[in-house]
Amino acid sequence: MSSLVEKIERYIKQVLNENPHGFIIIQRSDLASQFECAPSQINYVLSTRFSVEQGYVIESRRGGGGYLRIIKLGIDIRDYLDNMLGQLIGAQLSQPAAEGLLKRLHEEDLLSRREVMLLRAMLDKETIELAVPERDQLRARLMAALLRTLARKDF
């Protein structure tokens, strides 16, 4: 059985895919009521499954008439790869951020499910047995190599 987080993620993505404008406006409390959970669980789903790396922007307005606007970013995949590559040069990349990038590349049909699984294993902290700054730097270099390969014109 799917976890609550996965159910909420699937629901939001389904509603987004059905909306021709590429965004939805919802109320956190309505969503929490629908899934019989605390609003903080909705916040968790949004922060872990709908980040910029994963291709989403969340706008929030608090208060009685507050809402969440979830926007799916449309991208030119080559520009996206170049942009991400530029951000990774000489940078550090955490494991959750790397997994978010891999998920986005899969959603854009640039990586198969199997390729994502292989890359996750390669980028995992258990595989890269280094101290935190060096591990995140190596992960960034490995991800940059992946993005350079995907951005090649003959790909």
Domains parsed from the chain with CATH numbers: 4-72 (3.30.56.130), 77-150 (1.10.1200.150)
3-state secondary structure the chain: CCCHHHHHHHHHHHHHHHCCCCEEEECHHHHHHHCCCCHHHHHHHHHHHCCCCCCEEEEEECCCCCEEEEEECCCCHHHHHHHHHHHHCCCCCCHHHHHHHHHHHHHCCCCCHHHHHHHHHHHCCCCCCCCHHHHHHHHHHHHHHHHHHHCCCCC
Question: Tens-digit pLDDT profile for the chain (155 aa)?
Answer: 469 999 999 999 999 989 888 889 998 889 999 999 998 899 899 988 998 778 788 988 776 666 888 988 766 666 767 777 777 766 888 999 888 889 888 887 888 999 999 999 999 999 999 999 999 999 998 988 888 887 776 65
pLDDT for 1: 41
pLDDT for 53: 72
Q: For residues 47 and 58, what is the distance between their CA atoms, to the nearest angstrom?
A: 9
**pTM of the predicted model as reported, rounded to 2 decimal places:** 0.57
